[in-house]
A and B are shown apart, each in its own frame.
Chain A
Amino acid sequence: TGAGRKKDEL
């Protein structure tokens, strides 16, 4: 996946 947006966070 690599660094980037954490899609599970609100």
Chain B
Amino acid sequence: MNFFRLLGDLSHLASIFILLHKIQTTRSCRGISFKTQVLYVVVFVTRYLDLLTFQFHSIYNTVMKLFFIGSSIYILYLMRVRFRPTNDPSIDTFRIEYLLGPCAVLSLIFNYGYTWLEIPWSFSIFLESVAILPQLFMLQRTGEAETITTHYIAALGAYRALYIPNWIFRYFTEDNGVDAIAVVAGIVQTALYVDFGWIYFTKVLQGQKFELPA
């Protein structure tokens, strides 16, 4: 564990707490893509199948995995049951089958072994890299967002960005090579946040509302 990865994981945790806070305090899931949240559940469940093997890494690792699975399912419950009337599917129109299909194909081509752990793991890495797209697409359609929602997306972007220096650090301090699948997918994922990040830094952090140019 190094500084960048710890900070990245904490940023990931923070993003989930920001999202929960947004839904609970506004009593609304307006502006949040249900499809992106469904994809995150799929990502966590397929990636953390190794929990079932009880191959223990650390308490940190196990607790975080359980938290990510549990909180992502809880968010679906909040959106679909508790605050269902505030969820507007008519603007959440990204076709997620166009993400799921190619990720499934990629995971069959690029993986670290044809096993029931490695193929879902690889699939989850590819899927995570594009899981934010329905959310960004929704933002694009509405052209604006509540400030708290932009903090949520920014925390997710920071988490991804921090994993890159983590890999560089690990490359130079450890002697076991590069996780090419995670690194390539991670760079793609981080790149998807660049546009958003620019507006976040130049508008939201300067105290303005998040609005896309017409």
The answer to whether A8 and B57 touch across the interface, beta carbons within 8 angstroms, is yes
Total contacting residues, chain B, CB less than 8 A: 23
- Chain B residues in 8 Å Cβ range of A7: 50, 57
Q: A5 touching B177 by the CB < 8 A rule? A: no
Q: Would A10 and B179 be within 8 Å (CB), given that A5-B112, A5-B121 are in contact?
A: no
What is the CA–CA distance of A9 and B5 in the complex, to the nearest angstrom?
Answer: 8
- Nearest Cβ on chain A to B66's Cβ, whole angstroms: 11
Across the interface, name the chain B residue whose C-beta is closest to A1: B176
- CB-CB contacts below 8 Å: B176-209 with A: 176-182
Interface 1/0 per residue, B103-145 and A, CB below 8 Å: 0000000001000001001000000000000000000000000
Q: How far is the CA of A6 from the CA of B173 in the complex (A)?
A: 14
Interface of A is mostly: loop
Q: Which residues of A contact B12 (CB under 8 A)?
A: 10
Using known A-B contacts A9-B5, A10-B9, A10-B68, determine if residue A3 contacts B61 with beta carbons closer than 8 Å: no
Q: Which residues of B contact A3 (CB under 8 A)?
A: 176-180
Give the CA-CA distance A10 to B64 in the complex, in Å. 8
Give the contacts of B13-67 with A (CB-CB under 8 A): 50, 57-58, 61, 64-65
B182 surroundings in chain A (CB, below 8 A): 5-6, 9
User: Within the complex, what minimum Cβ distance (angstroms) separates B46 from chain A?
Assistant: 14
Partner of A4, one of B1, B50, B163, B177: B177
